[in-house]
Structure 1
Amino acid sequence: MALSLTAAAFATEVWQLYLTQGFLYGAGASLTYFAGLSLPAQWFTRNRGLVTGISISGGGIGGLWMSPVVNTLLNNKGVRWTMLANAIVHLVILIPISMLFKTRFESGRQRAKRIHKFGYRKGESLEQEKERKFVDFTIMKNPRFCLLFVAGIFVVSGYFTPFYFINSYAQQHGVNTSNAALMVGLMNGTSAVGRIVMGLISDKIGCINSLFISTFAATLTLLLIWTFAKTAAVMFLFSILYGLCCGAYLSSTVSVSAAICGLERLATVTGIIYAGMAVGSLIGSPVSGAILDTIGHKTNYLGVILWSGIVMLIGTIILFALKYVTNKKMFVKV
């Protein structure tokens, strides 16, 4: 990640940004993110939702201070020095933290050593172990997993739109650049709070219930508040409420995956779920931008808001189907 930011700082062509910021940074961020996301669930059985919420809340806290800092650096030092400063921050923070990561299950290297030493896994022959697939796609036969997977595609298609567009939307309505950047920071900061709070709630009412409620609430704030946000005060209100509601989606998804598929395949399951989310992210933001450019003529954001709200609403309906398939009783912990 630090390498990609450093390389991007010296990019002179757009394709170089695709390679560094797009491919290289994305690969590094995925490796770091999924490790930090799946490990806490392996170590905690009780209060898993709260622990996962706390661990993933760091992303929101980082966004709270990074957004205004990056905006200040861009205005005072330019793009190159902003990229380099960001690279240093990544390097200083992530290297020590990554050294503390420890999986609860047997690592690939440990397994290789054990196979070399003993030639078999407990209850399994060497031939059977070698035949086991690195990624087990038989999980796709689980209907609840499929519902969670498809819901992720739809929800994330609209999920990031406020984060990407609230800044330009606010400036379009006369808000100065500092306050517009602050809205993004608040959205990230409150999402950190939302992840912790909804993680705690999920331990009480069930992770699937928590996931459905938080996603439904985020969809309502997007459709009912952002649509009519014409003043800075309402935009700040939307940023805070949306952050509180939407943040739980990312943390609760891990708990739901563990509940549906178990801990043994949690890393694989989480990876597949987030691969679906990546598809949604690749679809959602470009479509939002295209709607703004063509239908909105770069000034009217109503089409962007409606697109994001509708796809998130579809995802919410699928999550309700997941809840119904899991347990047909409405008010039961699932």
Structure 2
Amino acid sequence: MSLLAEHNAAEAIELHSESKQPEIATTPVDALTVIQNLRANKDGILVVLSGFLCNFMVFGIGFSFGVFQEYYKSQDGPLYKSTDFQVAMVGTFGTALTYTCGIFNKTLLYHFKPRNVMLAGSILMSTGLILAGFCSKLYQFILTQGLIYGIGSSCVYLPPVVCAPMFFNKHRAIAMGILFSGTGLGGLALAPFTRYLIAQIGFRWCLRTLGFINLTLTVLASLLVKEPKVETFRTNNKLFNIHQLGSWKVWLQLGGSLLQAAGYLIPLIYMSSYAQTLGFTRGQGALFIGINNGVNAIFKVVFGFGGDQIGRLNMIIICNLLSAVTVFGLWFVESRSAFVSFVILYGVFSGAIISLLPTCLLELFGPANYQSMSSIMYFCRGIGNFLGSPLAGLMIVNAGITASDYRNPIIYNGVLLIASTMCLVGLWIIAYYEKIHKTWKL
């Protein structure tokens, strides 16, 4: 299909249905109606459940890397002589590849069923964790807990995320909120569990145990995925449409995603080690990561419900801005009580953009462009991960012994989130203009 023909097909789809226009605001709905509609959509429910399980494992492990970070750098750890930047590269590499490999997602789903892609990813991801249990050098951890884990987790994570929004319309945001709540619940459960396993059986068997648990749950998740029955799901196998890159709307959306991804993980990676500078124990540091993720999970669903009522893009902007406020207003303050407040409130606001962005892609760019835009967006989020935690690690002074040693990473974190918010406000302005003038342009 030519670029012009593909673009015209996309426009035809959007002109045919005004329901696909950017939703700056929507009509409130009651919880009973939401539940009834979800029950009628059994295939969609199964995909949401699959996505929940995948998020639980992929990001439950990924966002718990702060526990490994703190242990690897301790005197008992295998990477004691490595810098914060070097150790952070292990976790960042894994999480970044989860996103950046999304650039191949459209091609993979064109040639293979979502279930088969996920099964292959499950084996790779679990293998990476199990092999990491035999490692003792930095490059070995990067190859196993980073590279192999990251490629596998991408294949596990993205198929249900791409498929799920196509099963929903009116309640799309709350469905995706439930799907992505697995991220926070995974962190809530696996951060303290990881800390416990390291203390009881050592980090090597901890990694192997997580690998076998992951294999069980992600294989189950792959069996639940259903492919959406829409014509636009398998239009072509091109990575993306070059025409899409000639629009400010696309660049603002990608910029907002990249910058938010760069800032999002910084608190999670350094939360445990920073907590110890304030006098908290290792166990308490791991618990903070779990609490943050647990709160995050709850409010992904809450803000998903709210996004269906006031507009998904509106909700993303509000939460992104408030995330930056918590960084500057609470984490920047060298106080135990302020830090505890930050752990909770950052968990409240920071996760909304992750769960609501897929719903916005459908509304802003249409179903014909959804997969290619998802691929580009997740690739940019992966690049953002590379620019986030590792660079923040380089900014830590004096080996991070005192809380003031973290001032530069905290400022960097807040600036990234503010810049992301500015991009999303620009995107909102363009989307609002197009809605008012009944246009649909890339």
Flag whether TM exceeds 0.5 (same fold): yes
- Residue 325 of structure 1: CA displacement? 1.7
Equivalent-residue separation in structure 2 for 1:150 and 1:39 (angstroms)? 24
The aligned residue for residue 164 of structure 2 is 40
Equivalent-residue separation in structure 2 for 1:317 and 1:257 (angstroms)? 18
- Residue 298 of structure 1: CA displacement? 6.9
The answer to whether the 8 A contact 1:295-1:303 is kept is no
The aligned residue for residue 117 of structure 1 is none
The answer to whether the 8 A contact 1:292-1:298 is kept is no
Identical aligned residues as a percent: 27
The aligned residue for residue 168 of structure 1 is 273
- Residue 293 of structure 1: CA displacement? 3.6
Q: How does 1:300-311 map to 2 (within 5 A)?
A: 300-311=405-416
- Say whether 1:147 aligns with 2:252: yes
The aligned residue for residue 225 of structure 2 is 101
In structure 2, give the amino acid aligned to 1:278. G
- Residue 296 of structure 1: CA displacement? 6.4
Equivalent-residue separation in structure 2 for 1:282 and 1:294 (angstroms)? 23
Q: How does 1:262-301 map to 2 (within 5 A)?
A: 262-293=366-397, 300-301=405-406
Equivalent-residue separation in structure 2 for 1:175 and 1:314 (angstroms)? 32
Equivalent-residue separation in structure 1 for 2:171 and 2:282 (angstroms)? 40
The answer to whether the 8 A contact 1:227-1:302 is kept is yes
Tell me the alpha carbon deviations over residues 241-296 of structure 1, each in whole angstroms, 9 at most, x when there is no partner.
10110011101111111111112332321121111111111011111100004796
- Say whether 1:63 aligns with 2:187: yes
- Say whether 1:82 aligns with 2:186: no
- Residue 148 of structure 1: CA displacement? 0.7
Instruction: Tell me which moved more, 260-269 or 39-48.
Output: 260-269
The one of 230, 238, 251 equivalent to 1:133 is 238
Where structure 2 has 5 or more consecutive residues not aligned to the other structure, the ranges are 1-124, 435-442
The answer to whether the 8 A contact 2:256-2:423 is kept is yes
Equivalent-residue separation in structure 2 for 1:295 and 1:93 (angstroms)? 38
> Match of 2:224, SS?
coil
- Residue 136 of structure 1: CA displacement? 2.5
- Residue 93 of structure 1: CA displacement? 0.6
Equivalent-residue separation in structure 2 for 1:93 and 1:5 (angstroms)? 14
The answer to whether the 8 A contact 1:296-1:302 is kept is no
Equivalent-residue separation in structure 1 for 2:169 and 2:133 (angstroms)? 43
> Match of 1:77, SS?
helix
Equivalent-residue separation in structure 1 for 2:137 and 2:131 (angstroms)? 12
Aligned length: 309
> Match of 2:396, SS?
helix
The aligned residue for residue 350 of structure 2 is 246
> Match of 2:359, SS?
helix
Equivalent-residue separation in structure 2 for 1:213 and 1:285 (angstroms)? 24
Tell me the alpha carbon deviations over residues 96-122 of structure 1, each in whole angstroms, 9 at most, x when there is no partner.
1111111214799x97xxxxxxxxxxx
- Say whether 1:206 aligns with 2:307: no
Distance change >3 Å, CA 6–CA 259, structure 1 → 2: same
Q: How does 1:184-195 map to 2 (within 5 A)?
A: 184-195=289-300
Instruction: Tell me which moved more, 45-54 or 142-151.
Output: 142-151
Instruction: Tell me which moved more, 278-287 or 12-21.
Output: 12-21
Tell me how large the CA RMSD over aligned residues is: 2.2
In structure 1, give the amino acid aligned to 2:432. N
Equivalent-residue separation in structure 2 for 1:229 and 1:20 (angstroms)? 36
- Residue 313 of structure 1: CA displacement? 0.6
In structure 2, give the amino acid aligned to 1:33. Y
> Match of 1:243, SS?
helix
- Residue 143 of structure 1: CA displacement? 2.2
